[in-house]
Copies of this chain bind each other. A is one copy, B any other.
Amino acid sequence: MNQETGHAVTYQYDAEDKVLAAVDCIIFGFDEEDLKILLIKRGFEPEKGKWSLVGGFLKKEETMEDAATRILELYTGLDNIYMEQVATFSEVDRDPVERTISTAYYALINIREHSKNLIKQFSAQWFSVSNAPHLIFDHDRMVQHALQRLRNRSATEPIGFDLLPQKFTMRQLQKLYEAIWDAPFDKRNFINKINSLNIIDKLDEKDMTTSRKGSYLYQFNAEKYEKREGKFLI
Contacts and interface: CB of A to CB of B under 8 A. Distances in A.
A16 B55 contact: no
Interface string A38-61: 001011110110001111111111
Nearest to A24: B1
A89 B87 CA distance: 11
Interface stretch (A4-12, A109-117, A201-209): A4-12
Interface stretch (A93-101, A161-169, A177-185, A210-218): A93-101
A90 B64 contact: yes
A147 interface: no
A8 B58 contact: no
Size class of the A contact interface (CB-based, 8 Å)? 35 or more
A199 interface: no
A101 B9 contact: no
Contact of A90 (B16, B58, B98): B58
Contacts of A40: 2, 4
A5 to B, nearest CB: 9
A138 to B, nearest CB: 10
A90 B144 CA distance: 23
Contact of A92 (B48, B52, B61): B61
Contacts of A23: 1
B92 A9 contact: no
Contacts of A7: 43
B22 A19 contact: no
Contact of A59 (B10, B17, B103): B17
Nearest to A156: B152
A91 interface: yes
B13 A98 contact: yes
Contacts of A45: 9-11
Contacts of A92: 60-63
B10 A44 contact: yes
Contact of A2 (B3, B54, B59): B54
The 3 tightest CB contacts between A and B, nearest first, are: A1-B22, A18-B18, A64-B90
Given A17-B59, A60-B99, A65-B90, 5 more contacts: A2-B52, A4-B40, A13-B98, A18-B18, A87-B87
